Structure 1
Amino acid sequence: MQTNILDWLEATSARCPDAPAVGDDKTDCTWAQLADTARRAGSFLASRTMPRRPVAFYLEKSVSAFAAMLGTVYAGCCYSVLDTRQPAARTLQVLDTLTPALLVTDEAHAAAAAALGYSGQIIRLDDLLAAPADAALLVNRRRQAVDVDPLYINFTSGSTGVPKGVTVSHRSVLDFIPQFAEIFGITQNDILGNQAPFDFDVSVKDLYTALYTGAKVQIIPRAYFSQPTKLMDYLADHEVTILVWAVSAMCFVSIMNGFSYRIPSHIRQVLFSGEVMPIKHLMKWKSALPHARFVNLYGPTEITCNCTYAILPDRDFAPDEALPIGCAFPNEKVFLLDENDALVTVPGQAGEICVSGTALALGYYADPVRTAQAFTQNPLNTNWYERIYRTGDLARYDESGSLYYIGRRDFQIKHMGHRVELGEIEAAAMRCDAVTRACCTFDAERQRLHLFYTGSCEKAALLAALKESLPPFMQPNTAVQLDEMPLNKNGKIDRTALAALTKKGAHK
């Protein structure tokens, strides 16, 4: 029985020690090298920390960073990767919640880490990786480990302004990743093109699918997602076969006409998540990669990456067609509850997506109040303790039982006496040929709808087109053309930043 993700690392490094494990733009390492480096890092950490303590990482993703993260696990601890681009004040908020045993940084970020004002010990990555291995110490740490120990803590934005540390156990990853790899046929012959930063849970699918199957992870530098020619060359030259990407990263490629420069023809499968995929961008990808399989994934960080998937049919999609989010992964129960906590089964009726199963996170780190609000007893079950996660997302079934995402419960507003889904306004705007991205916000105080978009479409033309396709109560009061959409740390459109623009009068 596997109880720790290190079981996968050791099995894979024993099976194919000289096979490539992970690479970045500067270096590569084999599975044997990765395991050896992780043990040395683990020995260093175990001599300085107690088991089950978090270790924070303040650096960019790299081969060395991944090895050190695995070293944290060897030490019997859990890791939390911090976003180096976020304001120092937010990083300190995270550190105050986390109270990590150590903060690990590299030479490039050492000065910024020192300037944070963190009172704990700061360790250099090079020192961590150069330490000698202590086999006896690692054996002792491993003996006390259990499968419900935390593996990683990912901090997401909170509605109160305080970040939430989603804490995920070994058991949840051990449960989800084998299903993920089997359903999508990922093997040791694949090369996963890692787009997501290590503080974002999309990267969990890259890193641990590789650990489980022996596939290689090819880490794509963050900077390449503003340099389309470098990105396409990198994908093609490294013969990447699998992409598990955020929707915003895919839209970057299609908006910047990356495929007109070079097509990475080895890609056989594209799995996307994070936001609703605009049909016009999906069709550009399908046209460039006609033999690839496309998969729509759904699920928040709190349920270990994803809880549903839809393998898309090999056909064109109409501009106004909604993509399904499909069916539940094995060993995950996904169901809808209405406003009165009654089960929703009728096709077309909206309900909140709720999830139960082993893949649920342990909760929010050091935050029992918000944990209790989101992780609750299943109201449909009065016979035993069945913990569920309430996602806050709305969905509906079609006649065949497939799920379709509607939008955030928070984004369903009341305007002019009508219930309005902001996502429906955005979808209507995206059907205009010269609009590349769209996002709608609602000023409840002034009862005004503000549409933000990118593309070459004139404002007057866009508003005129929306008058033809939307009822009066859904027509935006203003349209704001942007050079690019602001994105949050997870690569999603930052609605808070857009709302701030309206307060500054940018909509006038």
Structure 2
Amino acid sequence: MTERLQDLVTQSVERDPEATALVGGDETMTYGELEAASNRLAHALVDRGVKPGDRVGVLAAKTPATIAALLGVLRAGGAYVPVDSASPAARAARIVRAAEPTVLLADDTATGLVDGLAGEGLDLTVGALGEPLSGERFASAFARADLASLPAEAPATSSPDLAHLLFTSGSTGVPKGVMITHENVLAFVDWAIRHFGTKASDRVSGHPPLHFDLSTFDIYATLAAGAQLHLVPASLGLDARRTAAFIRDHELTQWFSVPSVLTYLARFDAVAENDFPALERLLWCGEVLPTPVLAHWMRRLPHARFTNLYGPTEATIASSYYDVPAVPADESVPVPIGVPCDGESLLVLDDGVPAPVGGIGELYIGGVGLSPGYWRDQEKTDAAFVAGPDGERIYKTGDLARADDDGVVHFLGRTDSQIKSRGYRIELGEVESAVNTVPGVRECAVVGVDTGGFEGTTICCAYSVVEGTELPVAELRKQVTALIPRYMLPARWEALDGLPKNVNGKIDRPALRERFRPAPKEGT
């Protein structure tokens, strides 16, 4: 039985060392090359003082060399901490101080950031994943060329269960480090390979950034199957036609991303009838995919299988799934989040007890995917990971949900997006679903803003439209009026060229709330 993530590569090497493992830009790596590269880096890390359980920071672009570096950290017995190399130095410094890495691994995309970290007073040992790096305040201790003389076999070292720390946004502005274990990831990978039938001939997308937990699925399920991982360059951004061309040209059999990417491709009409003939399955996770967008994709790609995955970082990649059986007949009905993956459980609780069938409650997750908690923060861990009705350990998602007669769970929005406005309790997700059904809307977000008025929280809607479409606020409001009660209508609207996104490609709702927040009055 596989006990560590790096063992997945070793097993694939034993099957076929010459098979292609990684494709990124002009660089490819076979499984044999990946195994040797990760082992050599592991020796370099051990030589620089990395001991079992130590953390190693990774500030680098998504390339084959970087994937090898992640495995090298694990082979050295460490846990890797991926950091967005586009982060401001002050935020990255908070992560580095919290994780206390023994070594930082970086490439030339992160030279400025590493220099900024040194400027924040951090004492760093830096390893370069390519050419030697140097800035005003640092120089790399070793570079890729220095590894060639090191052994291609793994060093003899133990490997504790902590695999990586993923830092997410914290409500106080301090990033939270979610601890993810080898066991957590292996449990999901085992289920996913069986459920999706991943095989050695697959060509899988690697779209999410490495500091986003969805990338964990792409990497380890692909390597476990002995398949090819095609790393999608960040430079594609949300360029719909270039992204479609990538799927087409690389003959991908699986695409996995956040819904905003699928929305852009659909709204810009970048996908032709029966496009992507090699594509067998299309998966999404991270936020709600508007049902009209899903229907568009399903009509264009009748040969593909479509699956909605749901789960927070704290429960490792995803905890539930819903295989969409057919093109939705009613595009105003959101797609369910489905049923638990093997070894997981979904509980809809109302005041701590199971809600009746069809009843609304807060969603909790239990099972094999649960993180041990937040790095060195027992208070936050105890608040989020609680005892369930039967004493089991469960995670408080902060999401509202209901389970239907068939046990299928339906996501209803965030508990913190259920607001009170004009005396009514309103779920903003319902308003957002209504706006998304209006023809011409490319994407939208509905947020609640406390404006200090008598009406309570003000409902605000930002939206963008399909290129070449005119949809003034008055017309959009008129059409939405036909879909939801008048008391649920947004009071403030704003048409934008594009909605702001956070580093994971999701709509940046805090930024929108600030945009709609009224300016302070003079003298206050």
- TM exceeds 0.5? yes
CA distance in 2, matches of 1:354, 1:243: 28
CA distance in 1, matches of 2:369, 2:234: 28
Where does the alignment leave 5 or more consecutive residues of structure 2 unmatched?
A: 131-141
Would you say the 8 A contact 2:40–2:154 is kept in 1?
Answer: no
Q: Give the alignment of 1:54-203 within 5 angstroms.
A: 54-116=55-117, 117=119, 118-126=122-130, 127-130=142-145, 131=147, 132-134=149-151, 138-139=155-156, 141=157, 144-146=158-160, 149-203=161-215
- Tell me which residue corresponds to 1:391: 397
- Tell me which residue corresponds to 2:504: 490
Would you say the 8 A contact 2:240–2:270 is kept in 1?
Answer: yes
CA distance in 1, matches of 2:437, 2:488: 15
Change (3 A) 1:291 1:368: same
Deviations 1:354-399 (A, max 9, x none): 1111211121112221111111222x124xxx32111111111122
Are 1:381 and 2:390 matched, yes or no? yes
> Bigger shift: 312-321 or 453-462?
312-321
Question: In the TM superposition, what is the alpha-carbon distance from 1:315 to its structure 2 partner?
Answer: 2.7
Would you say the 8 A contact 1:243–1:270 is kept in 2?
Answer: yes
SS in 2 for 1:469: coil
SS in 1 for 2:74: helix
Question: In the TM superposition, what is the alpha-carbon distance from 1:97 to its structure 2 partner?
Answer: 1.1
- Tell me which residue corresponds to 2:309: 297
Would you say the 8 A contact 1:44–1:128 is kept in 2?
Answer: no
Q: Give the alignment of 1:196-275 within 5 angstroms.
A: 196-260=208-272, 263-275=275-287
CA distance in 2, matches of 1:302, 1:63: 27
SS in 2 for 1:322: coil
Would you say the 8 A contact 1:46–1:137 is kept in 2?
Answer: no
Would you say the 8 A contact 1:68–1:129 is kept in 2?
Answer: no
Deviations 1:88-114 (A, max 9, x none): 221111112111111111123223311
- Tell me which residue corresponds to 2:135: none
Aligned length: 495
CA distance in 2, matches of 1:63, 1:376: 39
Where does the alignment leave 5 or more consecutive residues of structure 1 unmatched?
A: none
- Tell me which residue corresponds to 1:476: 490
Would you say the 8 A contact 1:229–1:261 is kept in 2?
Answer: no
- Tell me which residue corresponds to 2:370: 360
- Tell me which residue corresponds to 1:430: 436
Change (3 A) 1:27 1:504: farther
Question: In the TM superposition, what is the alpha-carbon distance from 1:198 to its structure 2 partner?
Answer: 0.8
Letter in 2 for 1:393: D
Question: In the TM superposition, what is the alpha-carbon distance from 1:83 to its structure 2 partner?
Answer: 1.0
Deviations 1:275-326 (A, max 9, x none): 1111221122112211100001110011110010000012344221221111
Deviations 1:95-134 (A, max 9, x none): 1211111111112322331122332222211345442334
Are 1:411 and 2:417 matched, yes or no? yes
CA distance in 2, matches of 1:276, 1:135: 44
Would you say the 8 A contact 2:260–2:506 is kept in 1?
Answer: yes
Would you say the 8 A contact 1:279–1:317 is kept in 2?
Answer: no
- Tell me which residue corresponds to 2:138: none
TM-score for the superposition, normalised by structure 1: 0.94
Letter in 2 for 1:18: E
CA distance in 1, matches of 2:519, 2:474: 19
Change (3 A) 1:425 1:136: closer
Deviations 1:40-98 (A, max 9, x none): 01110112212111111111111000001100001000111111222222111111211
- Tell me which residue corresponds to 2:134: none
CA distance in 2, matches of 1:497, 1:315: 34
Q: Give the alignment of 1:453-464 within 5 angstroms.
A: 453-455=463-465, 456-464=470-478
SS in 1 for 2:155: helix
Change (3 A) 1:504 1:262: farther
CA distance in 2, matches of 1:189, 1:294: 20
Would you say the 8 A contact 2:40–2:152 is kept in 1?
Answer: no
> Bigger shift: 160-169 or 130-139?
130-139
Letter in 1 for 2:109: A
CA distance in 2, matches of 1:47, 1:494: 42
CA distance in 2, matches of 1:234, 1:415: 45
Letter in 2 for 1:23: V
CA RMSD in angstroms comes to 1.8
Change (3 A) 1:419 1:125: same
CA distance in 2, matches of 1:377, 1:19: 46
Would you say the 8 A contact 1:38–1:129 is kept in 2?
Answer: no
CA distance in 2, matches of 1:342, 1:95: 40
| Residue 360 of structure 2, aligned match among 350, 359, 369 | 350
CA distance in 2, matches of 1:112, 1:262: 44
SS in 2 for 1:66: helix
CA distance in 1, matches of 2:495, 2:290: 18
Letter in 2 for 1:62: T
CA distance in 2, matches of 1:336, 1:262: 39
Question: In the TM superposition, what is the alpha-carbon distance from 1:173 to its structure 2 partner?
Answer: 1.1
SS in 2 for 1:360: coil
Would you say the 8 A contact 1:232–1:262 is kept in 2?
Answer: no
